Each structure stands twice: as structure tokens, then as C-alpha cells.
Structure 1
Amino acid sequence: MARNIPLLDASWLYVESKEAPMHVGSMAIFTVPEGETTQQAIGRIVQLLRNSVEFAPPFNYRLSSPRLLTLMPKWIEADKIDLDYHFRHSALPAPGGERELGTLISRLHSHPLDFRKPLWEMHLIEGLYGNRFALYTKMHHSLMDGVGGMRLMERIFGKSAKESMNLPAPWSVGTISRKKKNSEPQHFADQAREAWEAAKLSGQSLPAAGRALMDLMREAVKPTDPALATPFSGPKSIVNKRVGGARRLATQTYPLERIRAVAEAAKVSVNDIFLAICSSSIRRYLLERDALPSESLTAGLPVSVRPADDLDGGNAISFIIANLYTTESDPLTRLKEIRRSTQLAKANLQAMPKEAINNYTIMLMAPMMLQLVSGLGGLTRPIFNTVISNVPGPSRDLYFSGCRLEQFYPISLIPHGQALNITVVSYSGQFNVAFTGDHDALPSMQRLSVYTGEALEELEAALGVTWESKKAAEPVAASKAPAKTATEKRPAAAKKPAARKPVKAPED
């Protein structure tokens, strides 16, 4: 049965290009349980996955017209799916460290998905030292946003090792639509009535969305408050060029409680601290390249509007724009002003009726989409300089086929004109940050992740915050350990392993 693709979802399909594919991904690192070797666990898991040939939405969705020749694209459920194409088994070269993992995933994330097939891939990666392996998954943004992905993740993985042993393959779980999957097909009259009601509701909300957008436009023409960032108010910079097909990946992880301690001391939110250390990192990176603009950079901040009970796929997001104050040298002043900017932007969005937010988002993002479709992305001033996203994740440990999920990182997309994306996911007391960048535009991108750590230390010093568990919790900086042999077992201790070194791709 065909399913119409909503306009916001379809827009990610239409702006797709070879150099700027519109898929998002994740990197999940697992630890093999005691009493089982890595080789045994991977052999068992691969067999389980290869024998799983039932596919649930959105893993069985494919485009009705792969070349997007229709005005309104549709999803149709594929009758036959080549599992060998979608699920792949890879191995890291020696020594199997975070560097090798980052290099492989950077390359995998660079390749576009095939529009003739369901738009997803999953790669099981072995050879990671320390009795570990990784799962890299990518899916087209038209099928899933960040919060939807987190809710799907909580259904795919178990809350205990025992529970996870009885779960099916991820593609057999899928999302849960608000309409029951086994419900009777609707008659044409019912479909037409639903479409009419939706159109009326959308039409009624257009004036409110239009007024909110006009307020932003008036502020852009005659600024009254520098804290209120507007579309296209950010300057062009080296992160706003056209992108190539190759990607870079860098990561950093912090204890969530450490971030919260700084936020409490500064009387701001965790997200304010996150934006502040990202701003500081970008500012320092650009200063070192003598490329810091005299005007402050801006960031697009995705805001989820997905209801708490919505377990379906697709996109349920809007955007606010924040001033990053990259021209401000004092870290506390920068933090204070970033907070004021985000509060103003949130207040404007929250003042709108819920029904108007989708129309507002479409109108707000339309210029950016037109830039990309017309080929002007990266050649003109960007709607905002970068995207910085904070996605709340599970607060407790999760497991996959008996193996504990040790770390989870989001890997995002970068369109023409925005060569850098920074996304954080909180998971089981961790604050896991991933930097996705264009390979050519951002050389030595790993420095951005290092600079966020130093920016956090700078805020701690300025606020008089002492993190007692700092040394034990920060990523290990020692040399890489050799990969264990297939017959080697983990020690009997049941404690969680120490925090690992962040994943990174090699620098030029």
C-alpha cells in the first residue's frame, strides 16, 4: 500500500546530491559479555541477523519513483529485500583502535544510499580491541529524525542482557505507526475526508506561521536586539563552502553529571553549556586559521515537536536560530549571551499554536531548500552557519544480543553551505558529542573535539567548579592496547569498563 511522503520529509529527498547525501547515521560500540569471546559473540549475532528476513516499516519502505519524477513522492512496501545488500560485515585493520574505526565509518558515511532500494544500511564491524565491536547504521533523513531514532533505538535494544537475547533483528522491529498496521484499508471517501480536514487545519494555522516569519524578517531588516538571530544574518565563513563527497568524523564524550555541574553553577541549562563549548571550539578553530569573521556565527538548533506517544518514523522537527557570539572572547559573557539568544528564539516558537509550527518550519526552511535545489548552496550567505543539535537518549544501559551498549554517537548530514554539524546524544550518564564535517573544508577537524574539552575546563575554572571524578571519567589518553585473540576472555570483574578514547579519523 502506497504512503504519501509529507512535504518536510520529501524535501530531504529533493535536495539530495552525490556530494551532499541526506542520510543520517549512528555508531554504537558494544562490549561482549563475560564467558564469551568476541569471535563467538560476533558469529552468533551475524547468524541471527542473516536469518532475520522479516522487515517492518521504515526498513521495508522504498520510493515508488526512485528518480523522483512525481510531484508528490510515495513510500511503497518492498516485496523483496536483499538482506546481503543492506546488512554488511566488516573488519578493522590492526591495531583495531578508535582511529581505525573513525576512518572506516567516515568512509562508509560518505557513500549515498541507493534510491532504488529501501534507504538504509547496517554494518557490523569487528576487530575493535578490548572485546568490543561496533554497529554503524545509516538511514535517509526522509525516514527518521533524531528523536524518532532514539525512540526506535529503545525498542531495538533490550533493558537487560537477558531480555536482549530474545529480541529480533532491528529491521524486524521497526517503528509503530499511530494507525494500526493490520487495520482495514481506508475507502477513498475516508481518505478524501481526512485529507480535507488536514488541509483545513493547515490553512487555519497559516496566518500564525506567516506572522511569526514576518516578525523574523522585520528583525532581519531592522535589527533591534543582537541576541535575536534571524535567517541569513550569519556571515560567510570557511564552514559555509560547497562540500565534497568525503566526510570526516570526530567524537568526544563527557560524564553528563560534569556538564550538569557546570550548568548549575552558571544557572543555565545543559544545552546552554553545550552551545557555549561548541562556540568556543569553533571560534578557536577559525582563529588558528585566521578565518574568524568579524560578525558572529549563527547556529540552527533543531527542536523536536514530536508528541511523547508518537513512535512513528518521519520528521517532527522545527528550527530556532541562535547567535553563537563567536566574536566574544570572554567565556562567561559568551555563555550569558548565548543563553539569552536561545531563550528569545524559544519564546517566539512557543508563542505559536502547535498546528502552525509545521507550516512555519516549511516556510523557514524553504529558502535553504531552494538554495540547495538551485545549486546556490555554499555560494551565497547561509541561512545559518552550522547546525548544533542536542538529542536526549536513554538514561539507562541498553543491550543488543547480550552485549552491553558502551557508547553511542550520532552521525549527521552536511548540505552544501554547511560543512560542519555537531550533535550530542545523552546515554546512560554519558554526554556523547559527534562532529560530522566535510573532508576538504575542515582539515584537522579532530581539534574541534579537543577544543570543546578545553572550553569546558575554562568554564569550570571561571565558575569555580571542581569535577572530582574528572580524571577517572575522561577518555583514556594512553596508547592503544593490542587486539585480543579469539580465545582470550574478559576478566571476571563485572564492573563497567573505563571510558574509552574518543573515535577519530586521521588528520592530514
Structure 2
Amino acid sequence: MARKLSFLDKSFWITESQANPKHVACLQLLSIPEGQDPKTYVTALHKEMQGFARACPPFNCRVKAIGIWPLGLQPVKHMQMDYHVQCHQIENIDDREALDRFIARMHETRLDPQKPLWQYHFLYDPTHHTFAIYARVHHLYGDGATLVRWFQAGYLDEPQSTGFTPVWAIKRLRHTPVKQYKRIKRIWLGVWEFLMTTKDVLVILLGLLLRLLRINRHYMPVPFSGTRTVLTGQVQAGRAVATFDLDFGRIRSLARRTRASANEVLLAAFDIGVHRLLQDHGHIFKQALYTNMPINLRKPGEKTGGNKIAIVPVQLAHAEHDPYLRLRQIIYHHRVVKHAAQLARPAAFSAYTIGIQAIALVFEWLRISNWVRPIANILISNVPGPTHAKYFKDSELLGCYPISTMTPGGGVNITLMTYNGTANIGMVCCNKTIKSLQPLAQYCQEAFDMLEASIDDPSLNIDDIGEHVDEVPLSIVSDT
């Protein structure tokens, strides 16, 4: 019998196309144990991993569908491990820009819909004692929280040369059954939940209407308020990828000093970085950029699989050249959205997400995304990862850089995973206009450095990031 999928899970299958595959991935860098020849070690590891052909759900499941409509996940009788686990020799594993370009070419292709929707690619060169794994999994299998939980279970706390089992072959315990109520009570609870969710959705829509009419400006942004840029528009085939690191200890320290969250500090740095990249392409900004912010809708301790998230727009900063003041703007806008999310049921925010994403998908199907405003300009998400070193068999994991999918309407998708005290950051966008995201990686690092330094040195500012600010007449309360 096919395993059921939620509507949100199904949406990632229904909306997939050759131009916009819906898998998420990560680039993992690992060290080869001392005394091992790189080619011999990695090719032997690749062959060993191919031997784990008895995969466990959902890694042994393909999508059972009628036309484009998925019915559920159904186990396959035979795993084609030559497809799922592959090995590639590249020129120089330590050339990060070249490695990112290689990953971008793999990331832009679609997973075979007739097979279980995952792959592991081992990458090495014969002269360096570092190798990489590019792993990708279809988004309908789970959201970031689910996939990171599986990832952590598939790695070891200590090196182990024997008895290692990769993530796709690990048996996961079934969830404890939810308490079953009598049929009549279940019906009434379902009706009550539906009515309360509908009420919360109407409250969200009313708040957006009041924001649109400028009656209440202290609410979430109205969807499709983003600025059209060279990064937004119709999603096309081809990807640009960049990966880099930030010291997460510095991020947390700066967050404490500024009474902000780590997410808000990162939003401020990424906002400045994206402005600089777009300014390089001639953009002038008359309003703030917007980010899509994923919200995990699980309760504390909940370990359900699949997708259980909402994605809502958050306004970023505008008209301030002081990095610290830009951070204060982002803190305010971010907490307005968080407050709205806390007042509504998770199901209401999930329904709201599906609604606005469905509209964006219609625009994409009609190929008119270039003519309408995007939901937002950037998607930025933060996934907590392991706090200490992990091992793939006897190879130490050095870093794990998440690389996500593209949202309808384009933009740049920035995903961060914390690992062993470091923020591993992966960025992806369409390469129809911007051929490389390496400048953005540099700009974001420089923006974080400036934001950190500006706390003690108010003279530091962003001289010009392409923002256009209307002149405001001086008043008796203006600085002179």
C-alpha cells in the first residue's frame, strides 16, 4: 500500500518541471583518514555504499501517481544502486569555486521520477585528502527539519571503520500512534479544528487587507510586494551555486550584544550583500527588499516526517546607511511576522502559504512571472545542525552546505546549517543573468564584518548600495 502524502508534500511533485526541479541537497566536505590513498579510499567507500541496496522508507519508495497527481509513496522491488550512489573524479577538490560550479550542474538536473527520489555522489581527486559528497533528496520526502534529523541519525559521533550504515538503510522507529477517539468525537474535533483554522485564515486576510489599505501598517507584508530584479522572474533551467562559512560563535555574540536573534543578524548581513550584488547589475532601490521566511510549524519535540512548514514574506531594511540601524529595522519587521504567526493556528499559516504559493505557481505555469512582482526577493532559512563533529564511517565531516530549490518567482535561496560551531551557508539562483554567486558570498561576509564592527564604531556606514531615498523636509526634530 502506498504511504500517504500531505497536500504540501504533493505540491512539490505537482509543481516540478525540468526548469524547476524540487529537490534539496547538501554539499558535504570530509577528510580522508590518515595513511589512506585518496582514490583507493573513496572508490572503495563508493562500492561499499552501493552494497546497501536494502533501503528503508522513504528511500526505497517511488511516487505512485495518476498523471501529475501523486497518490502516495510505494516501495520498489529493486534499487538501482548504480543510479542512487555514484562516484566522480574531479580536477581539484580544494578549488571551491570550481567545486561549486560542478555542484550547480548536478543540482540543475531533475531526479528520475520513476525511481526513489534521492542520490549520493562521491567526489574526489587523487592528490588531496579531502573528498566531498553531494547528496540530494526530493522535497516531498520532507522539509529541512526532517532531512537534518535523518542526516544526523546517519552520521557517527566517533570514527568507525566497520559496522557503519548509511542514512538510506537505517530503520526508523514508527511514531507512537496518536490517541484514537470515538468516531463521533473525532468528527466533532475535526469540524471544530476546521472552523478555528478558517477563522484564523480570515483574520490573516483581514490583517493583510488593512495593511494594503494602509490602515494598519504594523502587520505582515502583503504578498507579491517584492521588487523585480535580475534575480527574480520566470524560473529557468541552469543554476549558480556558492558556498561559504561564517563563525557561528561570532553570530551568537553579535546577536546577544544587539538584543537580536541569530536569524535577524544574518538577515541584516544578507540584505546588504544582495543589495551590493544587484547594484553591480545597475539596480536602484526605491523600497525595501523582501525575504521569504520558512516557519517550522511543529510543536517542541515533535518528530513527524514530511513537510510541516509555512513560508511568509518579511520586509527587510531600507533608507539607512548605518548597518546597526538597518538591523533594528529588520528586528522590528521580523518580529511583526513572528507575532502574527504565534496568534494563528499552524494549519492556518500552512493554508496561507499554500494559497500564496499556488498563485505564484499559476504565474509560473502561465509564464508571466517576469511581468508580476515576486512574493519576495530572497528566501533565507536557518537549519540547526549537529553541535559537535560527526563522521561518515571513519571520515570526519568538515562542513555541510545546504543547497535548496527555487521558489516560484525566482530570487536567490540562501540556506544556513550550523555545524560544530560554524555556519555553513549555501546559495543558489538561476544563472540566466547572474552567472556566479561568488561575489554575493564575498559581499555577505564583508557585510557581517561591517555590521559587527559598527556596534563599537558608529562612523562605519554603507556609502552606496543603490538605494534611492526621497528627500524629506527638515523639521524642528531633525538632526542638524
Match of 1:457 in 2: 449
Aligned-CA RMSD value: 2.7
Distance 1:179 1:419, change over 3 A: same
CA distance in 2, matches of 1:96, 1:220: 50
Secondary structure at 1:391's aligned position in 2?
Answer: strand
Partner of residue 284, structure 2? 292
Say if 2:55 is the partner of 1:58: no
Per-residue CA distance 1:385-416 (angstroms, 9 max, x = gap): 22111111111111111111001000011134
What is the Cα deviation at residue 99 of structure 1?
2.7
Residues 434 and 360 of structure 1: is their aligned pair in 2 closer, same or farther, counting only changes over 3 Å?
same
Map 1:261-272 onto structure 2 (within 5 A): 261-272=253-264
Aligned AA (1:231): P
Match of 1:383 in 2: 375
SS at match of 1:238: coil
Superposed, 1:293-332 pairs within 5 Å as 293-332=285-324
Residues 207-226 of structure 1: pairs in structure 2 closer than 5 A:
207-222=199-214, 224-225=216-217
Q: Do 2:208 and 2:219's aligned partners in 1 also have CA atoms closer than 8 Å? A: no
User: Please, which runs of 5 or more residues in structure 2 have no aligned partner?
Assistant: 458-480
163, 166, 176: which one aligns with 1:166: 163
In the alignment, is the contact (CA less than 8 A) between 1:58 and 1:174 conserved in 2?
no
Task: Tell me if the contact between 2:242 and 2:428 (Cα under 8 Å) persists in the aligned partners.
Answer: yes
Q: Secondary structure at the match of 1:45?
A: helix
Question: Would the alpha carbon gap of residues 197 and 286 (structure 1) be closer, same or farther in structure 2, given more than 3 Å must change?
Answer: same
**Matched position secondary structure for 2:26:** strand
Which residue does the alignment assign to 1:340? 332
2:318 and 2:134 mapped to 1: Cα distance? 33
Q: Percent identity?
A: 26
Matched, 1:395 2:395: no
Distance 1:210 1:3, change over 3 A: farther
Higher relative contact order (CA 8 A, sep 6+): 1
Following TM superposition, by how much is the alpha carbon of 1:51 offset from its aligned partner in structure 2, in angstroms? Answer: 1.1
Are 1:152 and 1:174, in contact at CA under 8 Å, matched by a contact in 2?
A: no
Equivalent residue letter for 1:65: A
Q: Distance in 1 between matches of 2:184 and 2:138?
A: 29
Residues 226 and 293 of structure 1, relative CA distance in 2, 3 Å threshold = farther
Match of 1:132 in 2: 130
For residue 434 of structure 2, give the secondary structure of its aligned residue in structure 1: coil
CA displacement at 1:243 relative to structure 2: 2.8
Structure 2 length-normalised TM: 0.88
Give the secondary-structure state (helix, strand or coil) at the position aligned to 1:240: coil
The alpha-carbon deviation at position 194 of structure 1 amounts to 7.4
Deviations 1:7-46 (A, max 9, x none): 1111111111111111111111111122433234324422
Partner of 2:8: 8
Distance 1:128 1:318 in 2: 44
Paired position in structure 2 for 1:496? none
What amino acid sits opposite 1:331 in the alignment? Answer: P
CA contact (8 A) 1:96 1:129 kept: no
Counting only pairs closer than 5 Å after superposition, residues 63-102 of structure 1 correspond to structure 2 as 63-65=63-65, 67-68=67-68, 70=69, 73-94=71-92, 97-102=95-100
Letter of the 1:435 partner, please give it. M
1:419, 1:404 → 2: CA distance?
A: 34
Give the 3-state SS of the residue equivalent to 2:207 in structure 1: helix
What SS does the aligned partner of 1:213 have?
helix
> 2:27 is matched with which residue?
27
Moved more, 50-59 or 200-209: 200-209
CA contact (8 A) 2:414 2:425 kept: yes
Q: How far apart in 1 are the matches of 2:175 and 2:365?
A: 32
Give the counterpart letter for 2:341 in structure 1. Answer: L
**Residue 146 (structure 1) shift:** 0.9
Contact 1:390 1:423 in 2 (8 A): yes
What secondary structure does 2:112 align onto?
coil
Paired residues of 2:33 and 2:394 also in contact (CA < 8 A): yes
Instruction: Look up the equivalent residue of 1:171 and give its one-letter code.
Output: W
Instruction: From the superposition, tell whether residues 373 and 206 of structure 1 become closer, same or farther in structure 2 (CA, over 3 Å).
Output: farther
Name the residue aligned to 2:399: 407
- Show the counterpart of 1:143: 141
TM superposition shift of 1:95: 6.9
Can you give the 5+ residue segments of structure 1 that lack an aligned partner in the other structure?
181-185, 466-508
Amino acid of the structure 2 residue aligned with 1:57? P
1:403/1:191 Cα in 2 relative to 1: closer, same or farther (>3 Å)? Answer: farther
Give the alignment's TM-score, normalised by structure 1: 0.83
**SS state of the match for residue 354, structure 2?**
helix
Cα drift, residue 152 of structure 1: 0.6
Q: In 2, Cα distance between the equivalents of 1:177 and 1:102?
A: 37
Take 2:192 and 2:55, find their aligned partners in 1: how far apart are those partners? 35
Question: C-alpha deviations, 1:135-172, integer Å up to 9, x for none?
Answer: 1111111112111111011101111113x742312211
SS in 2 for 1:151: helix
1:231-310 equivalences under 5 Å are: 231-310=223-302
* Cα distance per residue 1:157-193 (max 9 Å; x no partner): 111113x74231221126554268xxxxx9xxx9999
Bigger mean CA deviation after superposition, 454-463 or 208-217: 208-217
